[in-house]
Chains A and B, each alone.
Chain A
């Protein structure tokens, strides 16, 4: 089954970085961990080609490497390669939240892999020594480019170094960008081995004995790995410092970055000043943080889920709440933190207060929409603001009677602070009362403290998606069966009939089809040792995680086929595409392309858009099935 994800990643690398890179990548995915010579051998490329290919891949974090005894092994980074398909979404997400300039930064960083802040500033043409440097080295040609650059500063994102640093600081602070350390280029297995070696050397010289010590040892190794992941490793590894005092949660990184941002804030008081001191460390190396983006995608899907079941305006409140929480969550699931049981998870979960939500809420949300306001005629139908005011004009007589609605519009900026709080509180109450438990009330500090149980919510989201796919493939009755099995556990045929209120013979067909596709399974329980079929109970069961894996791999396969299809389609339109990409045609399309050709081109663009849209929809499923679920508890 892993072949599909391997193929998919290779296709993505091929689509973005071309044949040479994808060929090297495909070899690494297919064969596994290899040295340079072996890559050349297995791929049929020359050593020089392989070296160039590897450089590209390492720069984009698509290949990991580790050197031991002067032999370097390379390994494909499948996670990162898969994330290529998400690049469009990531850019859009950051653009929506932080504005276009931030979107530009993120798209440039996706283009570059990682980059030093200094180089980035120079490329943006805002670095301090920029004017001198460029002109001297390259003479006339570059002078021209400098002039051109100056001409178009109007449309440019950043005019000063301060602006660039401020934006970068903001993104770092929010976690969408992260610092790059050498340890991020190491394969997971090597990091593990190295951490084990160091921990053994420092703390367990006599070896690890007994189960109790093994547990402690594993915890120490995880702590060291956490430390490397969150703070970088170099100095620590030199000292071999891995003493027992470890932070429960990685906090130091955030503190450090916060510090950067603080500098940024203080320096940024005078915005127009071109020569503000370097606000961020110039040598800081940054890249896009995929984990953090996944957290944001999770919020998006949950908000959509909420708006499906409750209402738009409640969903807006929920969005504000989740975005506040996001700043306290670094990744959807942390494999380096073992959670023993639900209680521990509940205690460590981040909290958010009503006050925070109220501050984060968009001013234009119509808070009264979707809430019952004390009069049946007035139950607002979650309409937009414009509609609402019209309604009030029509039903003027109601306004006079109803004291609650006298204010007219209930947009957040027109409400008094107290009313706003009451409204938000009732929205949160709705979220608490929903059977899916979108939020949980914890205490009354800060006007009310709330927590989100992501584990349970992810599970119901997954269930929802699975049911959707079952409905599409097998019909509504099959979904009813699956739902019954999910809520009641294992059932035999008669019980299933009773619960679903259908005849036995009706459900047999569906069970058979579902079993064939792998969605449900039977378990046989013999009543005695003879195992006769007549004396055996057959129970039908539905396993969400198994089913999830099944659909996930189907999704990978479907994505592969979409990319293949794209290639085939492109070949069909190749002549026209090639013509449109000719250097003399670009910019003069109207002169050189005939009407027919333009039509063909737009046909091609449309069909590619359809395929890419479908690809990104499939990707949403993958995010849900692969990135959101948390690992099971480990007692």
Chain B
């Protein structure tokens, strides 16, 4: 097995702590403090997580801008929520549309105010530059293009196609902060005082309208009714498949 020539592996004596196989092994050093080396270490030693510095004004504004943009995308026609009821299509499954989960909640009256989640983007609400899209998507963009003109259906009301953008001024950070502060104040107050003073409340609302832009539909070009109430939901069923169209 061994080819010999090495005077035994354990032979440490001889040349004053020479080492194994000619390699210098550092002598035991009590300063290394390896005393508790043999003990099992604590499984989850307490760790202090590093805390990030609070956001600067610049960063807060950036975040505010990001949120504003996101809110507007969410309000716009392209945002979609598939929800829990999305499924892989199986032919034998009946067509069901579930807009609420019976195991979690019962339908309440206020549910009619909840924002309707869109399962499909409403594409026909804005103009497109058709040449940027591949040919096979053209019919999706503009449903009049894909169909042959022979099928004489009712002449459909042409929806008004405009870009929905925000024309009003973006609130500055000061305004956002002021609003937040006011909100917090209100939150503290309303614990104590009863809801009663209608006039004051009215005033508060008006103030609110003046600078809370992100929660203010009036100030926006986006017109929610346009998407839901133009009686076009039926047209979407040409594919005849699952959960498409709008959720009601």
Within 8 A of B (CB), among A513-539: 532-534
Give the contact stretch, choosing among A209-217, A542-550, A584-592.
A584-592
Tell me whether A88 and B62 are in contact in the complex, defined as CB-CB below 8 angstroms, given that A18-B80, A120-B163, A590-B186 are known contacts: yes
Q: B35 interface residue, CB < 8 Å from A?
A: no
Cβ of B95 < 8 Å from any Cβ of A? no
Contacts of B219 in A (CB 8 A): 152
Nearest Cβ distance between residue A555 and chain B, in whole angstroms? 14
Residues 556 to 597 of chain A near chain B (Cβ within 8 Å):
578, 581-591, 594-596
Partner of B183, one of A152, A588, A589: A589
Residue pair B168, A155 in contact (C-beta under 8 Å): yes
- Say if the beta carbon of A36 comes within 8 Å of chain B: yes
Q: Roughly how many angstroms separate A404 CA and B199 CA in the complex, as a whole number? A: 63
Could you pull out 30 A-B pairs where Cβ atoms are within 8 angstroms? Answer: A18-B82, A19-B80, A20-B120, A20-B121, A48-B140, A55-B141, A59-B78, A72-B135, A87-B69, A88-B64, A91-B62, A92-B58, A103-B170, A107-B65, A107-B68, A111-B165, A112-B126, A123-B167, A152-B168, A155-B169, A180-B129, A582-B114, A584-B113, A586-B217, A589-B208, A595-B186, A595-B187, A610-B55, A612-B66, A613-B60
- Please name all residues of chain A whose beta carbon is closer than 8 Å to the beta carbon of B88 when the two chains form the complex: 44
> Are A16 and B23 in contact, with the CB atoms below 8 A?
no
Instruction: Please tell me which stretch of A137-145, A252-260, A324-332 contacts chain B, meaning at least 4 of its Cβ atoms lie within 8 angstroms of it.
Output: A137-145
Q: With an 8 A cutoff between CB atoms, is A598 at the interface?
A: yes
**A104 located at the interface, meaning its Cβ lies under 8 Å from any Cβ of chain B in the complex:** yes
Q: CA A537 – CA B179 in complex, angstroms? A: 66
One of B32, B65, B120, B201 near A505 (C-beta < 8 A): B32
* B121 pairs with A578, CB closer than 8 A: no
Structural contact, B69 and A107, CB atoms closer than 8 A: yes
| Residue contact A609 to B29, C-beta cutoff 8 Å | no
A157 at the interface (CB under 8 A from B): yes
Majority DSSP secondary structure for residues of A touching B: helix
B239 near A47: Cβ-Cβ < 8 Å: yes
B134 in contact with A72 (CB, 8 Å) = yes
B127 near A: Cβ within 8 Å?
Answer: yes
Q: Enumerate the 9 nearest inter-chain pairs by beta-carbon distance, A residue then B residue, closest first.
A: A88-B66, A598-B187, A18-B80, A19-B82, A20-B80, A123-B163, A48-B239, A613-B55, A44-B88
Interface check A185, CB cutoff 8 A: yes
Which B19-74 residues have a C-beta within 8 angstroms of A?
Answer: 21-24, 26, 29, 31-32, 50, 52, 55, 58-70, 72-74
Contacts of B63 in A (CB 8 A): 88, 609, 612-613, 616
Neighbouring A residues of B221 by C-beta, 8 Å: 123
Interface size counted on chain A using CB atoms at 8 A: 97
Contact with B along A590-629 (1 / 0, CB 8 A): 1100111011001001001110111011000000000000
- Residues of B close to A265: CB separation below 8 A: none
**Does A34 interact with chain B (Cβ within 8 Å)?**
no
The answer on a CB contact under 8 Å between A590 and B190 is: yes
The minimal Cβ–Cβ distance linking B28 to chain A, given in whole angstroms, is 12
| Distance (whole angstroms) from the CB of B231 to the closest CB of chain A | 14
**Residues B162 and A123 in contact, CB atoms below 8 Å apart:** yes
State whether A52 and B140 are in contact (beta carbons under 8 Å apart), knowing that A19-B86, A532-B22 are contacts in the complex.
yes
Give CA–CA (A65, B67) in the complex, Å: 30
With A142-B160, A180-B132, A505-B29 already in contact, the answer to whether A92 and B65 are too (CB < 8 A) is: yes
What is the 8 Å Cβ interface bit string for chain A, positions 34-54, against chain B (1 contact, 0 not)? 001000000010111101111
Contact of B232 with A by CB under 8 A: no
Contact with B along A91-125 (1 / 0, CB 8 A): 11001000010011001101110111001101111
Within residues 161 to 175 of chain B, which ones have a CB less than 8 A from any CB in chain A?
A: 162-170
Contact of B135 among A15, A67, A533, A584 (CB under 8 A): A67
> How near does chain B come to A81, taking the closest CB pair, in angstroms?
14
Task: Tell me the smallest distance from the CB of B203 to a CB of chain A, in Å.
Answer: 11
Within 8 A of B (CB), among A56-109: 56, 58-60, 65, 67, 70, 72, 87-89, 91-92, 95, 100, 103-104, 107-108
Is A298 interfacial (CB-CB < 8 Å)? no
Residues of B within 8 A of A182 (CB): 131-132
B184 is an interface residue with CB less than 8 A from chain A: yes
The reply on A156 being an interface residue by CB < 8 A is yes
B123 lies within 8 A of chain A by Cβ: yes
Tell me if A534 and B22 are in contact (CB < 8 A): yes
Q: Tell me the minimal C-beta distance from A478 to chain B in angstroms.
A: 16
B73 to A111, Cβ gap below 8 A? yes
**Contact: B55 with A88, CB < 8 Å?**
no
- Interchain CB contact (< 8 A) of A534 among B24, B60, B78: B24
Task: State whether A100 and B169 are in contact (beta carbons under 8 Å apart), knowing that A44-B88, A46-B242 are contacts in the complex.
Answer: yes
Judge whether B241 and A46 touch: CB under 8 Å: yes
Contact between B120 and A49 (Cβ–Cβ < 8 Å)? Answer: yes
Q: CB of B3 within 8 A of chain A?
A: no
The answer to whether B215 touches A586, judged by C-beta atoms less than 8 angstroms apart, is yes
Quick one: which of B162, B165, B180, B183 has the most chain A CB within 10 A? B165
